Amino acid sequence: MIPVTKPFMPEKSDFEAYLDGIWKREWLTNNGPLVNELELKLKDFLGLKHMLYVTNGTIALQLAIKALDLDGEIITTPFSYVATTSSIVWENCTPIFADIDPNSLNINPVEIEKCITDKTTAILATHVYGNPCEIEKIDAIAKKYNLKVIYDAAHCFGTTYNGKSVFEYGDISTTSFHATKLFHTIEGGAVFTTDPELLKKLSYMRNFGHNGPESFVGLGINGKNSEFHAAMGLVNIKWIDSILENRKTQSEYYSKKLINSRIHFPKISKQSGFNYAYYPIVLESEEMCMKIFKSLTKHEIFPRRYFYPSLSTALSYVESKHLEISDDISKRVLCLPLYYDLSFVEIDMITRLILRELNN
């Protein structure tokens, strides 16, 4: 069986060494030493001054919306994981979907501006598959209309933009360290901001609003993460250069095999240092997409229709909206298997089956 992804598993003995320390200290959560160590090592690797390690990527989004005191309408993308939209609704705001660019698959700045009303307070954009949005254009729109910007950068660990971590952009950026991500802490996420005062506010919010054991600063939530999860992150960060290099090599091998086929590939930003988080292909029709999907699954190869369906038509708790490009692309996109120990032999088999269907 070849799944669409597998969690990276480090050396078990390295993880157990951290567990021994946890057992000795008996400090399991509440901003323990491993959480602090992980934050420092991540900031060092990413070249960042500020970040907070949190429970997961969804909590990160909810904290971002709450910390910016947002209400009203938030313009967002329909081509993303459901948490991008559900977090907006969960925080009592209204998601307004703007269509995507057919080449990058990211939210289209032209469509963002069309959606702005006197109720709009923010833009929540996803860097799809780790490919950065048109950040300068989004920033210009936000400044023109006095809007806040949150980036859902769940796919972006290791991605750079204009030589800096993509996490540095927006009022707040968020990410996920879920087990399926190229860097993971089993469950986890982070919030990033370059504003020290906003970071301070987020740090209180992450821990119920506590300012000492008997004092509180505003409304908070349990957004902390444990020493056990931090331990996994500390082991995995030692492997991150190898993980990123493997994914690049595997992706380039896929592309070499599929280069002359009738497949569209997302256009990667020229300003990006790309992380090869996923290997998406866009087929010429939904019929061809499903033919390839069925052929692969028949051979116990499991790609994913990621993202399908378009969120603009999929959710009962938001108003359905037809968006031509997102609706169309979501029906034709497949993410092919990509993970640390995926072999060239397996990629050969996957691409051979795809090309067979394309040429039939």
C-alpha distance across the termini of the chain, in Å: 25
| Whether pLDDT at 261 is above 90 | no
Percent of the chain clearing pLDDT 90 (strictly above): 98
Predicted pLDDT at 204 = 97
Predicted pLDDT at 328 = 98
Predicted pLDDT at 213 = 86
Strand order in the sheet with 94-97: 52-54, 189-192, 172-176, 148-152, 120-126, 73-76, 94-97
Q: What is the mean pLDDT of residues 239-262?
A: 96
Q: How far apart are the C-alpha atoms of 164 and 272, rounded to whole Å?
A: 9
Q: State which H helix or E strand residue 165 sits in.
A: strand 164-165
Tell me: the pLDDT tens digits for 267-318? 999 999 999 999 999 999 999 999 999 999 999 999 999 999 999 999 999 9
Domain 240-359 has CATH 3.40.50.2300: no
Confidence (pTM): 0.97
- Helix, strand or coil for residue 210? strand
Predicted pLDDT at 214 = 87
The one-character DSSP state at 2 is B
Domain ranges of the chain: 12-238, 240-359
Max Cα–Cα distance, the chain, nearest Å: 70
Q: How far apart are the C-alpha atoms of 319 and 62, rounded to whole Å?
A: 21
Cis status of the peptide bond prior to 192, with omega within 30 of 0: no
Q: What is the CATH number of domain 12-238?
A: 3.40.640.10
Say if residues 185 and 191 touch (Cβ distance below 8 Å): no
Measured CA angle at 183 (ends 100, 203), to 5 deg: 85
Tell me: the pLDDT tens digits for 212-240? 888 999 999 999 999 999 999 999 999 99
- Helix, strand or coil for residue 168? helix
Structure tokens at 81: 């994981």
Q: Going by C-beta distance under 8 Å and a sequence separation of 6 or more, which residues neighbour residue 357?
A: 288, 291, 292, 295
Positive or negative torsion for Cα 258, 179, 172, 321: positive
Rg (CA), the chain: 21
Residue closest to 329 by CA, chosen among 294, 267, 287, 286: 286
Q: Taking the mean position of all CA atoms in its chain, how far away is CA 223?
A: 18
What is the DSSP track for 237-256?
Answer: GGGHHHHHHHHHHHHHHHHH
**Domain pair 12-238 / 240-359, same fold:** no
| Whether pLDDT at 260 is above 90 | no
